[in-house]
C-alpha cells in the first residue's frame, strides 16, 4: 500500500497524490461520519480521498455530549431499532479502543414529580439492557433512596425517591474522529484538512470531479473520482444546493450547548442523567478537573460557522443543575468554558427539536452524489457501512470482485492498541510512575495522556525526555505538539488546543500558560511569517472568547 505518513509536514505529497489520482470514492467532510466512511471504504479495498474544509472534527463532531450511548431517551419515542443498534455498537467500539470508549456508570435519580416512576424506570432500563445486549455485570440496578444518596450525596434528599443505575460509555468525539482517520490513512486513504469543496463539474449530468480550494496554499485543485459522498453534517443541504438536488427532504438544525465547571464547583461522584422541568433530560458528567453539563435542544437558523452559547442557553442549564443539586448554588461566574454544536437532523413537519428522530438517512441525487445526514456519533460504523454498500451498488463489475467484506469491527482504532480495560488501568498506573520520575506530580496527567493518545503516549514521553530545557510540564506540552504535528495533521493553534488535546473545554487555563511556547514551536515547524502568527493568535483569542462568553442572540 502506497501510504504517505499522516503528517502535516507531508502535506505537499498528500496534495500531489490527491490531484494526480482518479479515486473510487471522494468523501466531502471530515467529521465522524466522513471518517467512518473513509475507514470502511479504504479497508475494503476502495481508493479513497477525504477532504475537510476546516480541521477534522471541527463541526458537530467535537461538540457532542461525548457519550457512546444506547440512547435511553429514544425508547420513549419507540425507536427500538436505533436503541438496539447504538447499544450493540457501544460494546464493539469499547473493544476497538478501550482507552477512548470507556465504561461509565450512569445514575438516573427518581424524584417526586419526575418524568418516570420507579416501575416505569426499572422496566425501561430492563428493555434498554435487553436491546443493547448488555452483559450480566453491567445490567441495570434499581437503588433505594439511601443507596442513591450514597452514590451521589449532592442529590436533594428532600425529593429523592431512589435511582436507576445503568451502563453507558464516554469518549472524546474529536479524538475518536482523528484516530479513525489515522487508521483510514494507514489503509491508503488520501486525507487532507483545510481543503474546501467549492463546486461540482459534470459529464452527462453525472458528477465527474469537484473543484476545491486549499486554504493553506490558496490553490485551486480538482479531484476526480467515480463516486462522491457528502458527509458534511449541518452543511449537507448547502452541498445538495450546489448539486441542485435539494428537495422536500431537508435538514432541521437544532443547537445543543454544554457548560463546564471546575470540578470543585460541581463535585459529583459520578455521571448523572436527570429530569428538567420542561420534560427533557440533561447529563452531568465529571471529567478530569471539570464537570460538564448538557445539553440544550433548540431550533437553529444562525451562522453555521460560528455557533455560540446565548444567555438563555446558560440560564436553562444553570436552572437545571441548581434544581437537581440545590446545595451547589452555581452562577454564570462559576462556568469555566462552554461549547455549542448543531445536530444535523432530518426535518419532520410539526415536531419539536427533542422529538425529531436521530436516525440517519441517505439521499442519492440524479447526478450520483450520495449525501448522508442525521445519525449519531455512536452509530458511525453502521452508517459508514450503509453508505459504502450504496456506493458498491453502482461500482464496476471488475472492481467489485476485489472488494472485501466489511471488517471494521475488528480494526483497532489506535495502534499500538491497548486491548482491554485492565490493560488501560495498568498502563495509566505505569504512566503515573513515569510522570512522577519526570517531575510531574499532577495525578490528572496520566489519565489525560492515556485517554487522549493511548499507548502513543510512550512516544510523547520519550520526546519530552529528549528536550533539554524548560520545566517538565512545558516539555511535555512541546512533546504533545511534536506528536500532533508529526502524526496527526495539526496545522493551527486551534487544531492543537481544541481538537487534538481538548484543552479549550477541559483545561482552559493551560492554554494561557502554554500559548507562547506552542506558537514558538509551530512557527519553527511551519516557518510562519508575522501575518500568520497574528492570524493564528486572533483565531485562538476568538475561540477563547466564545468559550467563556454568552451572547444575547445567535450570529
Ligand atoms: C449537542 C450535541 C450532543 C450530542 N451528543 C451525542 C452523544 O453524546 N453521542 C452520540 O452518539 N451523538 C451525539 N450527538 C450527535 C453527533 O455529535 C453527530 O451526529 C455527529 O457528530 C455528526 O457528525 P458528522 O460527521 O455527520 O458532521 P460534522 O461533525 O459536522 O462534520 C461535517 C464536516 O463537513 C465539513 N464540511 C462542510 N462543508 C464542506 C465542504 N464544502 N468541503 C469540505 N468539508 C466540508 C465541515 O467542516 C465538518 O467538519 C450530539 C450532537 C449534538 C449537537
Decide if 192 contacts 393 (C-beta within 8 A).
Answer: no
Q: State whether the beta carbon of 243 lies less than 6 angstroms from ligand 1.
A: no
Decide if 304 contacts 236 (C-beta within 8 A).
Answer: no
Query: Which residue out of 59, 369, 489 has the highest number of ligand 1 atoms within 8 Å of its CB and is therefore the one to mutate?
Result: 59
**DSSP states along 489-506:** ---SHHIIIIIIT-HHHH
Closest CA to 108 of 131, 135, 129: 129
Strands (E) across 154-249 are located at 160-170, 190-192, 195-203, 206-214, 219-230
The Cα 189–Cα 45 span in angstroms is 10
In terms of Cβ atoms closer than 10 Å to its own Cβ (0-12, 13-18, 19+), residue 435 is buried
Q: State whether the beta carbon of 522 lies less than 6 angstroms from ligand 1.
A: no
The Cα 126–Cα 364 span in angstroms is 38
Q: State whether the beta carbon of 295 lies less than 6 angstroms from ligand 1.
A: yes
The pLDDT of residue 2: 57
Q: State whether the beta carbon of 71 lies less than 6 angstroms from ligand 1.
A: no
Ligand 1: which atom is nearest the Cα of residue 295?
Answer: 1
Using alpha carbons, list the distances in angstroms from residue 80 to 71, 91, 230. Answer: 10, 17, 27
The Cα 77–Cα 360 span in angstroms is 16
- Which residue has the least CA distance to atom 26 on ligand 1? 233
The pLDDT of residue 347: 87
Q: In tens digits, what is the pLDDT along the chain, a chain of 555 residues?
A: 558 999 999 999 999 999 999 999 999 999 999 999 999 999 999 999 999 999 999 999 999 999 998 777 776 777 777 778 888 899 899 999 999 999 999 999 998 877 767 777 787 788 878 877 788 878 889 999 999 999 999 999 988 999 999 989 999 999 999 999 999 999 999 999 999 999 999 999 999 999 999 999 999 999 999 999 999 999 999 999 999 998 888 999 999 999 999 999 999 999 999 999 888 999 999 999 999 999 999 999 999 999 999 999 999 999 999 999 999 999 999 999 999 999 999 887 778 887 777 788 999 999 999 999 988 999 999 999 999 999 999 888 888 889 999 999 999 999 999 999 999 999 999 999 999 999 999 889 999 999 999 999 999 999 999 999 999 999 999 999 999 999 999 999 999 999 999 999 999 999 999 999 999 999 999 999 999 999 999 999 999 999 999 999 999
Q: State whether the beta carbon of 209 lies less than 6 angstroms from ligand 1.
A: no
Q: How far is the CA of 344 from the centre of ligand 1 (A)?
A: 7
Q: How far is the CA of 64 from the centre of ligand 1 (A)?
A: 8
The Cα 337–Cα 49 span in angstroms is 35
Closest CA to 481 of 453, 506, 447, 504: 453
The Cα 89–Cα 91 span in angstroms is 5
The pLDDT of residue 169: 94
Question: 227's torsion region: left (phi>0), alpha (psi -120 to 50) or beta?
Answer: beta
The pLDDT of residue 264: 97
Beta strand pairing status for 219-230 and 22-28? parallel
C-alpha cell at 412: 483497532
The Cα 517–Cα 515 span in angstroms is 6
Ligand 1: which atom is nearest the Cα of residue 212?
Answer: 42
**DSSP states along 348-417:** -TT--GGGS---EEEEE-TTS-EEEEE--GGGHHHHHHHHHHHHHTTS-HHHHTTPPPP-GGGS-SSSSP
Q: How far is the CA of 484 from the centre of ligand 1 (A)?
A: 22
Q: How far is the CA of 174 from the centre of ligand 1 (A)?
A: 10
The Cα 342–Cα 86 span in angstroms is 20
The pLDDT of residue 82: 78
Give pTM, 2 decimals.
Answer: 0.97
The pLDDT of residue 1: 59
Half-sphere exposure of 428 (CA within 13 A, CB side): 18
In sequence order, what are the beta bridge partners of 373? Answer: 361
Query: Which residue out of 168, 176, 232, 254 has the highest number of ligand 1 atoms within 8 Å of its CB and is therefore the one to mutate?
Result: 232
Q: What is the dihedral of CA 24, 28, 34, 39, to 10 degrees?
A: 30
Q: How far is the CA of 179 from the centre of ligand 1 (A)?
A: 16
Q: Which residues contact 526 (CB under 8 A, 6 or more apart)?
A: 8, 491, 532
Q: Which residues contact 305 (CB under 8 A, 6 or more apart)?
A: none
C-alpha cell at 467: 528536550
Q: State whether the beta carbon of 63 lies less than 6 angstroms from ligand 1.
A: yes
Amino acid at each position: 500500500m502506497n501510504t504517505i505518513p499522516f503528517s502535516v509536514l507531508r502535506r505537499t505529497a498528500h496534495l500531489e497524490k490527491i490531484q494526480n489520482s482518479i479515486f473510487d470514492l471522494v468523501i466531502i467532510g471530515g467529521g465522524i461520519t466522513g471518517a467512518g466512511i473513509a475507514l470502511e471504504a479504504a479497508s475494503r479495498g476502495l481508493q479513497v480521498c477525504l477532504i475537510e474544509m476546516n480541521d477534522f472534527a471541527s463541526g458537530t463532531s467535537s461538540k457532542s455530549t461525548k457519550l457512546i450511548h444506547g440512547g435511553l431517551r429514544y425508547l420513549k419515542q419507540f425507536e427500538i431499532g436505533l436503541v438496539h443498534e447504538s447499544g450493540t455498537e457501544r460494546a464493539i467500539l469499547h473493544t476497538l479502543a478501550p482507552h477512548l470508549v470507556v465504561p461509565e456508570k450512569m445514575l438516573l435519580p427518581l424524584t417526586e414529580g419526575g418524568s418516570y416512576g420507579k416501575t416505569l424506570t426499572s422496566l425501561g432500563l430492563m428493555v434498554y439492557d435487553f436491546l443493547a445486549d448488555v452483559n450480566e455485570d453491567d445490567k441495570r440496578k434499581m437503588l433505594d433512596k439511601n443507596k442513591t444518596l450514597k452514590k451521589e450525596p449532592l442529590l436533594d434528599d428532600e425529593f429523592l425517591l431512589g435511582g436507576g443505575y445503568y451502563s453507558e460509555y464516554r469518549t472524546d468525539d474529536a479524538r475518536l474522529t482523528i484516530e479513525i482517520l489515522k487508521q483510514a490513512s494507514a489503509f491508503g486513504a488520501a486525507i487532507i484538512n483545510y481543503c474546501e469543496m467549492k463546486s461540482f463539474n459534470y459529464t452527462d449530468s453525472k458528477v465527474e470531479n469537484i473543484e476545491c480550494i486549499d486554504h493553506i496554499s490558496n490553490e485551486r485543485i480538482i479531484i476526480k473520482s467515480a463516486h462522491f459522498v457528502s458527509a458534511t453534517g449541518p452543511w449537507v443541504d448547502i452541498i445538495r444546493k450546489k448539486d441542485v438536488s435539494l428537495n422536500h427532504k431537508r435538514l432541521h438544525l437544532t443547537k445543543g450547548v454544554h457548560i463546564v465547571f471546575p470540578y470543585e464547583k460541581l463535585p459529583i461522584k459520578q455521571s448523572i442523567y436527570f429530569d428538567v422541568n420542561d420534560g427533557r433530560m440533561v447529563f452531568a458528567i465529571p471529567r478530569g478537573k471539570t464537570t460538564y453539563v448538557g445539553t440544550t435542544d433548540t431550533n437553529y437558523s444562525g451562522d453555521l460557522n460560528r455557533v455560540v452559547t446565548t444567555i438563555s442557553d446558560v440560564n436553562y442549564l444553570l436552572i437545571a443543575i441548581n434544581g437537581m443539586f440545590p446545595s451547589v448554588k452555581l452562577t454564570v461566574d462559576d462556568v469555566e468554558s462552554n461549547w455549542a454544536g448543531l445536530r444535523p437532523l432530518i426535518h419532520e413537519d410539526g415536531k419539536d427539536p427533542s422529538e425529531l428522530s436521530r436516525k440517519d438517512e441517505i439521499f442519492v441525487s440524479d447526478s450520483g452524489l450520495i449525501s448522508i445526514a442525521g445519525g449519531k456519533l455512536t452509530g458511525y460504523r453502521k452508517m459508514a457501512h450503509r453508505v459504502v454498500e450504496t456506493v458498491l451498488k453502482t461500482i464496476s463489475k471488475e472492481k467489485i470482485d476485489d472488494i472485501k467484506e466489511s471488517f471494521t469491527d475488528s480494526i483497532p482504532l489506535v495502534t499500538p492498541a491497548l486491548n482491554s480495560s485492565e490493560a488501560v488501568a495498568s498502563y495509566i498506573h505505569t504512566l503515573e510512575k513515569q510522570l512522577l520520575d519526570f517531575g510531574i506530580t499532577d495525578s490528572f496527567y496520566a489519565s489525560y495522556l492515556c485517554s487522549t493518545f493511548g499507548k502513543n503516549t510512550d512516544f510523547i514521553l520519550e520526546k519530552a525526555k529528549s528536550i533539554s530545557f524548560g520545566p517538565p510540564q512545558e516539555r511535555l506540552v512541546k512533546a504533545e505538539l511534536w506528536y500532533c504535528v508529526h502524526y496527526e495533521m495539526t496545522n493551527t493553534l486551534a487544531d492543537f488546543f481544541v481538537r487534538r488535546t481538548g484543552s479549550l473545554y477541559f483545561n482552559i487555563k493551560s492554554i494561557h500558560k502554554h500559548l507562547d511556547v506552542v506558537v514558538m514551536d509551530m512557527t519553527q515547524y511551519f516557518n510562519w511569517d508575522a501575518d500568520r502568527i497574528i492570524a493564528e493568535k486572533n483565531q485562538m483569542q476568538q475561540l477563547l472568547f466564545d468559550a467563556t462568553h454568552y451572547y444575547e442572540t445567535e450570529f
